Amino acid sequence: MKKITSTSEITVEFYDLDPMNVVWHGNYVKYLEKARCDLLEKIGYTYDDMRAENVMYPVATVELKFVKSAFFKQNLTVETELDEYQPAMVIKYRILDAETKELLCKAKTMQICVNLQTRESIYNAPENFVKKIEELSR
């Protein structure tokens, strides 16, 4: 599979800070979600498409490695790469300072395909999702 990547831009907001005036660690998950939505948009298979096919991809695991703190009004770039899509969707992330390109955080998420009605795991990616990935991988 050819690498499928996207880039997202985020500006740190005041409400993302903790009492130490750095981004609270839990808000990095919000940044990952924004980047994941941008990646899915690029693929052409969004959460709306999932719902239409009666599936969802809830997060099963999140790995975060903090390298350096982010601060109020700092502009961030989130580089996102689809690493796997069968049997689970695995996405790797790098959060960088947008200007200096300094690495602030590395992350990885794994999401499992689940039937929307029964909540049972599905061990194959939906056909339309696979088709979109294959189209981008050419």
Q: Which of 123, 111, 112, 132 is nearest to 2 (CA)?
A: 132
Query: What is the per-residue burial (b if ≥16 Cβ within 10 Å, else e) of 28-62?
Result: beebbeebbebbbebbebeeebbeebebbbeeeee
Residue 1 above 80 pLDDT? no
- Rounded Cα gap, residues 41 and 115, in angstroms: 21
pLDDT digits (tens, 9 = 90+) for 96-135: 999 999 999 999 999 999 999 999 999 999 999 999 999 9
With a pLDDT cut of 90, the percent of the chain lying above it is 97
Global confidence as pTM: 0.95
CA-CA-CA-CA torsion sign (44, 102, 10, 27): positive
Whole-number pLDDT of residue 2: 84
With cut-offs at 50, 70 and 90, classify the pLDDT of residue 16: very high
DSSP state of 86: S
Per the DSSP assignment, residues forming a β-bridge with 106 are 65, 94
Q: What is the residue type of 45?
A: Y
CATH assignment, 4-136 = 3.10.129.10
**Would you call 120 exposed, middle or buried from its count of C-beta atoms within 10 A (0-12, 13-18, 19+)?**
exposed
- Rounded Cα gap, residues 88 and 125, in angstroms: 7
- Rounded Cα gap, residues 109 and 89, in angstroms: 8
Looking from the CA of 78 toward its CB, the CA atoms found within 13 Å total: 24
Residue 47 above 80 pLDDT? yes
Average of per-residue pLDDT across 1-20:
95
Mean pLDDT of the chain: 96
Average of per-residue pLDDT across 73-83:
98
